[in-house]
Amino acid sequence: MSLNTLLATTSADQSVKIWQTSNFQLLSTLKPHYPDPAEPPHGWMWDCDFSADSQFIVTASSDCVARLWNIEQAEVKREYSGHTKAVISLAFNDGM
């Protein structure tokens, strides 16, 4: 993926949508998977930030977890848990 060609939107349905800015096509929807499929989403996906190479995105959400996603594979690579309240903002510095 080229740099500066993606847009991410966060939502109240616990998802992040990744859009291609050149044609406004939806590339993927990132949404956490929970052990119990009957369990409703845990509120907002509040914030996100791309890595410098646009291959990863970090998300902050109401379920008290920050997640590192691989955008192309649309999967969680790592979860950062331990917060006792919603994670509502973040910044990603990958040193690039």
Question: How confident is the model over 21-57, as pLDDT tens digits?
Answer: 999 999 999 998 877 766 665 678 999 999 988 899 9
Average pLDDT over residues 60-82: 94
Backbone angles phi, psi at 73, to 5 degrees: -90, -10
For 39, left (φ over 0), alpha (ψ -120 to 50), or beta?
beta
The pTM of the whole model exceeds 0.95: no
Percent of the chain with pLDDT strictly greater than 70: 86
What is the distance between the alpha carbons of residues 64 and 61, in angstroms, rounded to a whole number?
6
